Amino acid sequence: MRNLFTRVALMSRPQTESVGDAVRAIAAFLRERGVAVMLEERAAEALGVHEAEVASLARIGAEADLAIAIGGDGTMLGAARALARHEIPLIGINHGRLGFITDIGLDTWRQALSSILEGHYASEERTLLTARVVRNGETVWSELALNDVVVNRSSRTGMIEMQVHVDDLYMYSQRADGLIVATPTGSTAYALSANGPILHPQVKGIVLVPVAPQSLSNRPIALPDDVTVTIRVLEGREPRVAGDMQVFSDLQVGDDIIVQRAPFMTHFLHPPGYSYFATLRGKLNWHELPSLRAIQR
């Protein structure tokens, strides 16, 4: 039994205590197969897991040849942002709720990991975005995002006014609750709830989706992923920007938020038989036909 991957990092959400049992079971499974196991240090401390070698994110990036995110999609997003530049492939085991990108279930992970360790898997690349806030000519915040970059208002204030340029060409100005710049991965996240389109992960594009715009004519638009999108805050109290809705920064009027495709990709590994369309069917209930009673109404 030969393992294609010999040093595997486990990453989980430190705030979720119930994931500890799953982490211990996966660590034991990997060790039984002769795989060296590393556990991200914050998760190890929070979960009280001592069955694996504890390592920092920097060390995981330098030494691991595979990472497994155990939790919800947020855990996978954090792992991707931390490890993508190191070109470490990622596997997602769903211990959360929806699980668009953590596609392996808790009841199937043993079979899935066995196949992947033996070299039987589907591999795909996912685009990331870089975002930076420029204030008076100086970068005051920068972050990576796998799902989206969102400029929005505080929950306590009214709409914000923004001006958008694409490759230095004026696109539009609008008043709205916010604006989402999403990757294909993020097109099934916040952007979808704001009526944005779904982009297949292999589509080389990004989408701009306004959130509750004042003008109903402001609609989502798909753009090539090699453009530079610049969002300037013209008016609004307490605006802010977020990467993957996990990393936030406060904004000021006059700030420019510059969003571009990252110079590297993140790599997802899936067990044999993985289908993106099956994920959509399962998560969005595409397989459910409307009932006769609903049609008659």
Q: Among the options 21, 65, 73, 244, which is catalytic? A: 73
Per the CB < 8 A criterion, the answer to whether 76 and 88 are in contact is: no
- The pair of structure tokens assigned to 267 is 């790599």
Q: Is 73 a catalytic residue?
A: yes
**How many CA atoms, within 13 angstroms, populate the side-chain half-sphere of residue 64?**
31
- List the catalytic residues: 73
